[in-house]
Chain A
Amino acid sequence: MKVDGGTLASLEKGQTGVITAVNASDPQIQRLMTLGLVEGVEVEHATTALGGDPLELRLFGKRISLRLEQARQFQIAPVAGIGD
């Protein structure tokens, strides 16, 4: 459950982090933000496809998939407290 600061890409399977900053210069990343990946939300790393890319994340109980290189644009912090 413990996550040191890093990006969404550095989350391990089953870990949850809070998005703290998004590098939004890329239109692709803006598109992901439209789906709800913005500062202040909790994201859980659910699993990956074969080869570790793309990732499958959980966002408010829903599954969302993105690539590692996109995941690197999202800074995260560990979630305070336990559970979801």
Chain B
Amino acid sequence: MATRRKEVGVPVSQISVQREADAGIAVVGNPNSGKSTLFNRLTGLSQRIGNYPGVTVERHVGMLKAGDRRIELIDLPGTHSLSAHSLEERIVVDVIFGRLPGSRKPDAVLAVVDATNLYQGLYLVQQLQGLDVPLAIALTMTDAAAAEGLEIDVGVLRARLGGIPVCPVVATTGEGLGKLRRVLQQLPGTASRPVEPAWPELAEAAGRLVQAADGPLALAAAERLLIDGADDDAITVRPAGRPSDSNADGDARLLNRLRREVFGSEPPLAMEARVRYRHVLAILNDVQRRVPAVTRWHRRITDWLNRPWPGTIGLFVVMAIVFQAVFAWATPLMDLIDAGTAMLAAAFTGLLGDGMLASLVSDGVIAGVGSVVIFLPQILILFLFIILLEDSGYLARAAYLMDRAMRSVGLSGQSIIPMISSFACAVPGIMATRVIPNRRDRIATILAAPFMTCSARLPVYALLIAAFVPAERFGILNLQGLVLFGLYLFGIVMGVLTALLLRKTALRGPKPPFALMLPEFRRPNLRTVAMQLWGRGKMFLYRAGTVIFAVAVVIWALAYFPRSDALAPYVEERRILAAGSLDGAALDEAYARIDNEAAALQLEQSWLGRAGKFVELVFTPLGWDWRVSAAVIAGFPAREVVVAVLGTVYAVGDQADEANLSDRLASAVWPDGRPVFTLPMVLGLLVFYACCLQCAATIAVIRRETNGWRWPAFAWFYMTAIGYAGALLVFRLGS
């Protein structure tokens, strides 16, 4: 571990180097200020996405593409203020103050300010001005500002901010990026510029705190200490290395005295907002002029869409289109993949003959992995829509529209964003809860999110519905579609009931707050969308190629071994008997029947068969045979595995003659000839899948987000119990 840099103004060449970068620049800005688009433009494809240690907030790092110095840019989550309320905001503050373990203190800060929103942007800039590292400003969306009739005098702005570099840019077209790159090249190592403090009393008190501190303390950090206090119990992450921790009582007494002197009886946060915004207004007066402009078309559309009824109806229409598209658009691609895997399996069988290796490749690998990969188109389409909704600013609108409804179950509109994201995957959904400031609201949302029908449940639903729900039509409605819609609805209801239950019991507390900036709708940035979609697709295929591949091979081996010695002579005997009494087509048919029967007997005495029979007892009340039970058990680490397991089991077993998996399932029978997959059983199985927390990744993310095993353990037992009870109820009522 390299030593952390302590002094201010050390030449860059003397800074100990971490990860081949000469210097690091943190990129800070308001949400929706165009920060990430600018970051992508500046770093191109060099960026890496990781996590901050201990939390699931994504860490985006990339190399600045310009000049001879290797400068690393760190894209921080959007924030309005350095007064951290949520986990993401805490990350911003900890990174720029160099308090986050394992993350180097940035050598400079780039503040991204939206030119159409100088008011809030300059508030954050003002808080950043007490930093002990140089600061520069990228003024984004200057084209939009001009179109809105905002005239900004950059020269005056620069002068009012103490002469720090201010670079107007249009990130979408690349205008002004050359100059910004040159400024960033020069920035690390230059002296930070002291400015006339906007709030002299606070600056003076902060200065006294800096002198009293036993370690290096930036003026801005001292100001935060005065305003926010040394302790914030709303946040779960430890406040790493705060100066007041080390020097106990004396510091605390000084801090309290200074706080009383500066704030009196006024709440510090309120006073900060009053003083700083007054200063911002004074700057705006000199810098910005509003001239008449035509109302932009998208603002007019937004205004119309935002009215109460169009807004609410629009939300439901948008969601309906998303789910419709997932099924309608994906079908041709899925058929293509299906045909491809079938051809591949046939080709390998032709190549490898009839032995064990052929069975491993075609029944194990291709049948197993192929049955999961086929859902790639649906998953990509779903993610595409979620990403588009988020990037266009619509999800914030959804939060606003649903706030009243969410309030009735003890949550706020802010919980709707994690829930909608969870339709794609609960892992990013649960990560999206970090914008919720209150811990109780956050945990209730985290526990509701896994009930949303995620893309990994989709393969299971799609398979079972296609196989067992008749494709009847009622007018424009299709019964299969209705059942699927019902399952989505069921997931929502269960999630909401869970949240309600928790808010009435373990997580009782005051009503969650709600305050939200509503961004204008904007055209999603294609680069950003493509990059995110690519990442998601890659992750899915990676899982299919590793975890699911491994599971498919293991399941195949468990189903293939041990080979029975007694079986071969028995089969031979039956074949001779048949040959004696039959001929022609009837004989071929008899042979096929004997082979299938042999395969079934082999499977039943295989390890998988024995294991399945062992757990069958638990699942018999639900109408599941040992094969389904085995598949369900195998699916606990990742629920989409169940499709792969069913694919493998039924490819090895006696239904292998049927062309595809749904037909194979449909022809599965109990020993007495009754079909296994009856409608009540299938519906029960669907309910089980709708509830059960069969996803190791979700459990891991809940553990990380809640800092312990208590909530993930609760979620697992709770959801599994509900799934089992629901499946039992449906099966018993239906039979």
Residues of chain A touching chain B, judged by Cβ–Cβ distance below 8 Å, are 22, 24-25, 27-36, 38-41, 46-54, 56, 59-67, 70
Scoring B residues 77 to 92 as 1 if CB is less than 8 Å from chain A, else 0, what string do you get?
A: 0001101010000000
Nearest CB of chain A from residue B97's CB, rounded to whole Å = 19
Q: Is the interface of B mostly helix, strand, loop or mixed?
A: helix
Decide if B267 touches A38 in the complex (CB within 8 Å). Answer: no
Q: Point out the residue from B85, B116, B303 that lies within 8 Å of A61, measured CB to CB.
A: B116
Shortest CB–CB separation between residue B493 and chain A, in angstroms? 20
Question: Do B270 and A53 have beta carbons less than 8 Å apart?
Answer: no
Cβ contacts under 8 Å, A70 to chain B: 513-515
Q: Is the CB of A53 within 8 A of B400?
A: no
A61 to B312, CA, bound (A): 23
Q: Is the CB of A56 within 8 A of B400?
A: yes
List which B402-439 residues lie within 8 A (CB) of chain A. Answer: 403-404, 413, 437
A30-B270, A36-B119 given; 8 more Cβ-contact pairs under 8 Å: A34-B83, A35-B80, A40-B281, A41-B281, A49-B308, A50-B309, A54-B413, A64-B516
Question: Given A30-B267, A34-B80, A36-B123: A50 and B404 within 8 A (CB)?
Answer: yes
User: B472 within 8 Å of A by Cβ?
Assistant: no
Q: A31-B513, A34-B269, A65-B514 are contacts. A49–B400 as well, Cβ < 8 Å?
A: yes
Q: How far is the CB of A43 from chain B (nearest CB, A)?
A: 12
Whether A60 pairs with B119 at a CB distance below 8 angstroms is yes
Instruction: Please name all residues of chain A whose beta carbon is closer than 8 Å to the beta carbon of B120 when the two chains form the complex.
Output: 35-36, 60, 62
**Docked-complex contact B403 and A67, CB < 8 angstroms:** yes
| Interface size, B (range) | 35 or more
Most buried by B among A40, A62, A64: A62
Tell yes or no: B254 within 8 A of A by CB: no
Scoring B residues 378 to 406 as 1 if CB is less than 8 Å from chain A, else 0, what string do you get? 00000000000000000000001101100
Cα distance A22–B267 in the bound complex, in angstroms: 12
Query: Is the beta-carbon distance between B400 and A65 smaller than 8 angstroms?
Result: yes
Chain B: which residue is nearest A54 at the CB level? B403
Is B307 at the interface (CB under 8 A from chain A)? yes
Q: State whether A33 touches B518 (Cβ < 8 A).
A: no
Most B Cβ at <10 Å: residue of A32, A34, A60: A34
Whether, in the assembled complex, B207 has its beta carbon less than 8 Å from a beta carbon of chain A, the answer is no
- Beta-carbon contact of B306 and A47 below 8 Å: yes
8 closest Cβ pairs, A-B complex: A24-B270, A33-B273, A63-B518, A30-B269, A28-B513, A60-B119, A50-B308, A65-B400
Q: Return chain B residues, CB-CB under 8 Å to A53.
A: 403-404
A49 touching B401 in the complex, CB below 8 Å, given contacts A30-B269, A35-B515 = yes
CB of B223, distance to nearest CB on chain A (Å)? 14
Using an 8 Å CB-CB cutoff, how does the interface string of B293-328 with A read, 1 for contact, 0 for none?
Answer: 000000000010011110110000000000000000
Bound-state Cα–Cα, A28 to B83, Å: 13
A24 to B400, CA, bound (A): 23
Contact of B273 among A34, A62, A65, A67 (CB under 8 A): A34
Instruction: Tell me whether A54 and B400 are in contact (CB under 8 A).
Output: yes
Q: Is the CB of A61 within 8 A of B404?
A: no
Residues of chain A contacted by B251 (CB below 8 angstroms)? none
Q: Report A-chain residues with C-beta under 8 Å of the C-beta of B307.
A: 47
Answer whether A36 and B277 are a contact pair too, CB < 8 Å, given A30-B270, A61-B116.
yes
Q: How far is it, in angstroms, between the C-alpha of A56 and the C-alpha of B413 when the chains are bound?
A: 13
Q: Mark B253-291, 1 if CB is under 8 A from A, else 0.
A: 000000000000011011011100110010000000000
Q: Which residues of A contact B517 (CB under 8 A)?
A: 35, 62-65
Q: Does B117 contact A (CB under 8 A)?
A: yes
